[in-house]
Chains A and B, each alone.
Chain A
Amino acid sequence: MRGLLPFLATRLLRAAIALWLVSTVVFVVMRLSGDPVPLLLPPDAPRSEIFRVRAELGLDRPLPVQYAVFLGNVLRGDFGRSIHFRQPAFQVVIGYLPATLQLGLTAFVLAALVALPIGVLSAVRRNSLVDQTAMGLALVGQSAPTFFIGILLILIVSLNLGLLPTSGRENWRHLVLPALTLGAFAMASIARLTRSAVLEVLRADYVRTARAKGVAETLVVVKHTLKNAAVPIVTITGLQFGTLLGGAVVTETVFAWPGMGRLAIQSIYNRDYPIVQCTVFLSALLFIVINFCIDLIYGLLDPRVRSS
């Protein structure tokens, strides 16, 4: 386990810096947006009232003080009150988190379950029809815009074939299309990377030795190749989960999925900045925590990583 602690410390420090940067950007952007007070008060509010609210929110204090107060509030999970919901922003956003996690996890599991076998098969049957079709589709999946994949699925599967509902969140049938849409990019990336990781190992000396010894091809693939290709595949697969979160904003909007991403977009239309702030920050936190956990698993799996 030598070297694990410094490795963890570096990663933790990086995560903290990333979070601090995100909160700073959020603060700067909020200040650029101008005075939020008129949004909070009726248009005919007297000047004395405007000054009172400004003082109450601490907007009359110098910027560095405001920044320090803001960081303190963020640390305590205080993002202010939602203008639209009339509740603390944090409470509102947390209420929408389970739907996003459900969608994200389903998309991720679906992507991994489909992509891993396809990637392995493509590598083993290199340049076959299966390989070429799968990799062609993967290229499309990697470069097609998420929102349009969603629209196409709604058009074909829901409206033309009438197989699945177009929107909402009631039972598993509502989950299929959003999960496919959100998972498409990850699926394509995981399939391509699995293929190249397996191909890499298939070229290794010990695989040639195993074949020379007369080990059956199935056994070569299962025992010698997959085990060694697993480390890069696990990392890359894990990293894709973090990336899914960004796509959730789009997917949730397309399918009217009641999660954090859709909440963020609606709050932008409502000019409900405390909610926008809080969703941006919480997503960042989630993303960074997930990536940190992946780093940790990777560090445990492969000692070589720790030194780099």
Chain B
Amino acid sequence: MALGGGIFVVVLVVVALAAPLIAPFDPVRQSLRGRLAPPTLAGADGRAHLLGTDHLGRDVLSRAIYGARVSLLVGLAAVVVGGIVGASLGLLAGFRGGWTDSVIMTLADAQLAFPFILLAIGIIAVLGPSFPTLIVVIGLSGWVTYARVLRSQVLVLRSREFVDAIHALGGSVARVIARHILPNVLSSLVVIATLELARAIVLEATLSFLGLGVQPPTPSWGGMVHEGREYLDSAWWISTAPGIVLMLTSIIVSRTGDWLRDLLDPTLRGE
């Protein structure tokens, strides 16, 4: 299971990176004569549309392959944004304590007490959809878990004697963070980041499906499902092909996260 998950993620990354080499067709080239062609193995001159074509005659397989780029790019970037913001705020809350801590943790509670997708929709509606907006909004939707883990680790270590000793010897806060806090939370961070990656990919696809994410003609899985919606009864493959890839990615990445959690960090279980 774990091995399968790992292989799947590696394959996905390779496919995304090598999209121009792997994709059999240009993902945005339209062909009005070849519209809504069903999946087939037999193609003229050996270049078959394995997953059929969409309403503009574009190759669904090629679009799904390029779609992996969007999903992974936005997903990974959002995880980095969320991780940096969450980790910094968590460290700040833990070290400063008092007023700073209360404000940050109240903010975290408030965000958890609210379906973030509504806020994301409002923000993107006003700022307009673009890659940076998408990455920042999706990233900010997931900072809370990182902040909580780092804060509690700081609270555990702050009162320990060796930390006092480091301070007394003139060691800086940065040294405590780099040498003592980060190594302790590294495995938790890996687990959270994996689970967050699955969430970010699904959130991006959902926003793209609603027309608020990646804009056409750039292929994205959510956008493709949206485009194929009107052709469900005549050309089911347009929506189902990218949808199934998205579903598999989400399930496998989050299962890998669960597996990593059980392996690395049993204390996170049940969160």
Contacts and interface: CB of A to CB of B under 8 A. Distances in A.
B155 interface: no
Nearest to B195: A143
A29 B239 CA distance: 33
Interface residues of B, number: 41
B188 interface: no
B115 to A, nearest CB: 3
Interface in A240-283: 242-243, 245-247, 249-250, 253-254, 264-265, 268-269, 273, 276-277, 279-280, 283
B114 A288 contact: yes
Contact of B114 (A22, A29, A276): A22
A244 to B, nearest CB: 9
Contacts of B113: 14-15, 18, 287-288, 291
A148 B248 CA distance: 12
A25 interface: yes
Given A29-B126, A33-B126, 13 more contacts: A15-B113, A18-B110, A22-B119, A25-B123, A32-B126, A139-B255, A147-B205, A151-B225, A151-B232, A245-B115, A249-B210, A264-B118, A265-B210
B161 interface: no
Contacts of A139: 251, 255
A148 B250 CA distance: 12
Interface in B181-229: 198, 202, 205-206, 209-212, 222, 225, 229
A147 B210 CA distance: 9
A249 B117 contact: yes
7 contacts: A21-B110, A147-B222, A148-B246, A152-B243, A159-B236, A250-B206, A288-B113
Interface of A: 14-15, 17-18, 21-22, 25-26, 29-30, 32-33, 139-140, 142-148, 151-152, 154-155, 159, 196, 242-243, 245-247, 249-250, 253-254, 264-265, 268-269, 273, 276-277, 279-280, 283-284, 287-288, 291
Contact of A249 (B121, B232, B240): B121
B62 interface: no
B209 A246 contact: no
SS of B interface (majority): helix
Contacts of B123: 25, 29
A26 to B, nearest CB: 7
A177 to B, nearest CB: 13
A155 B118 contact: no
Would you call the interface of chain A mostly helix, strand, loop, or mixed? Answer: helix
B145 interface: no
A196 B270 contact: yes
Given A18-B109, A29-B122, A151 B251 contact: no
Interface string B106-134: 11011001111111011101110000000
Contact of A264 (B106, B121, B246): B121
Contact of B247 (A18, A145, A154): A145
B254 interface: yes
B118 A145 contact: no
Nearest to B228: A151
Contacts of B246: 145, 148
Contact of B206 (A26, A33, A145, A245): A145
A188 to B, nearest CB: 11
